Structure 1
Amino acid sequence: MKRFLLILLFINISCAQDDTTINEPQDEIYDLELIHPTKNIPWSIEFIDEKTIIYTEKRGNIFIVGENNVTELTGLPAIYERGQGGLMDIELHPNFKENNLIFLSYASGNRESGGNTAIASAELLENKLVNLKLLYKGEENTTRGQHFGSRIQIDNDGYLYFTIGDRGNRDVNPQDLKKDGGKVYRINIDGSIPDDNPFIGSDGVKKAIYSYGHRNPQGIFLHPKTGKIWTNEHGPRGGDEINIINAGKNYGWPKITYGINYIGTTITKDKALPGLEQPLYYWVPSIAPSSFEYIWSERYDGWSESLLVGSLKYMYLERLELKDGKVTYREKVAKNVGRVRDVKLSPEGLIHIAVENKGIFRLNPKNE
């Protein structure tokens, strides 16, 4: 039995892929254009249509950017801005053109007790948010200012996924199903819990939990071919991860990690343990990933089916080529552009990025 477990553990480790050498771009196939400047921190961008962007700023604002005008929305919830927390992600309902429904993630709380990540829905009517509804609020509040997670994604079946980081309490939250933090969650768009959530029949646990053992997932997307939810996860010093999320699975933090503490000390000697999921890919050293996106567009020569990951640390986009579930090539894109906070494709397949203290950029293909 012991030998069998060791074999399983070896197989588990071998499924994870470590860092590969990053390449300088061979030929820039795009022109980088600043389409909307801002001196603040744009956190998330979405598209009302090809020519109209809606985006959030961390300090607590939402703007709609058209071809010739910029409009600030009113009616937002109270935003608790502290450390890494503030107004974060925005997601449009798949039928937004019919129901005007949007979803927000934000830090909710107060200066005395602190705060935690909240998810809300609202209708966008005449540049104002109305019928604001709180769908989920992480418990308990804390004055710690890190690891709010925040990303939102609706899947093909209409379920809403979102992330909350470990909130700086790594030794408790990620592995405790009775506590929020260090989790990926799944709810219905009205805030109710799906009947087939993995822990729906367990007593005393947070029934919205879909997966656990996460540090700070700051990127999420729905794979257009498989329908699976992918996340990327901001690790400590090394150990950033890409994960494919499966119901009820434990992704290991902090029991296993490929990273170490920022001061250089050991978090754990284990990189794999039975029953704990391995990442599809991990970075050593860390790039401090924020958002990421799957490139379904054919408008960029040779980039289709790649991933684009925003690097906060190195201030570039990183393009990853995949083959048979493995990263085969890494490339720097938009070098020195700044701290990339979000990456999105427009409805017509043009890449847009939100860069802290600079604004929103578009990558215009040179071959068009």
Structure 2
Amino acid sequence: MSLLSDLINLNLSETTEKVIAEYIWIGGSGLDMRSKARTLAGPVDDPSKLPKWNYDGSSTGQATGEDSEVILHPQAIFKDPFRRGNNILVMCDSYTPSGVPLPTNKRHAAAKIFSHPDVVAEEPWYGIEQEYTLLQKDIQWPLGWPVGGYPGSQGPYYCGNGADKAFGRDIVNAHYKACLYAGINISGINAEVMPGQWEFQVGPSVGISAGDEIWVARYLLERITEMAGVVLSLDPKPIKVDNPEQGDWNGAGAHANYSTKSMRNDGGYEVIKSAIAKLEKKHKEHIAAYGEGNERRLTGKHETADINTFLWGVANRGASVRVGRETEKAGKGYFEDRRPASNMDPYVVTSMIAETTILWKP
């Protein structure tokens, strides 16, 4: 095992200029992440200088066997915390050979919105709070939970410490450092309300980069849980019970904190309220795009608003949209859309918020 570890951690830069690029893309479910590696002649720091590549779309649910080739377009580069050195991770999106974006390619449409002159002028900032659950591999049950049973009720686990309260911290801390190494603008982590559930925050990130960073952060977490023998779940309601004696468990979201230049400037609070009014008018459209199974999470309980009701308020964590006390006091700042589920597509959510609040003229 010592030799295997030595080979895994081998510093290639001491013997060759060649580097390994891990191409990452989104599979046919719209949530599964796929990747494969190729050798480059030397270091590359511009995605436009990377070669396009292809893969077998019939094996990812994105093409038929008779016409299976799908083309990867490199879009963003990150440092590789696993191979290190000059090796890189490459976030890609997927196209047919004729250049048509696949239905699962949500980045293409998002990039159009974020490149619109009106959106560029507003410099949209995002801070995404990605919640997730760690599951025991063989039984698909939350980490730290007794097999076939339930832990003590919620309360001591949120930001908790101790062997009976925090489960999976080594994974969480490894992921934190891996994101920082990769160049992802991860801004924090914490244990969540349900035991075995955690959160990381990415941002502030501008425009399309928010989606790129969340997807690569998810990829890193998937790889780290793979090494740890633990399963990552982005299900918005991983534990749903009907018997009160079995507990009352929080769901998992991906709250989107958002601001534009106009919101951050003096008088921004009025811009924020106007943007929230637009979000209310398009509540159904946003809910439909905010993640599968979100109706199991948005029940009006566990710090959520009912899925059929749009509600906003200052410092109200039971609202669809929350405005912070500091924003209200300063008269400018940001707001938090609390509706997105943990399994949302960040390209869809971020671009949709920008389109509704900046481009849409009701």
TM-score when normalising by structure 2: 0.28
Q: TM-score, normalized by length of structure 1?
A: 0.28
Larger Rg: 2
Q: Please state which structure has a larger fraction of its residues in strand.
A: 1
Of Structure 1 and Structure 2, the greater helix share is in 2
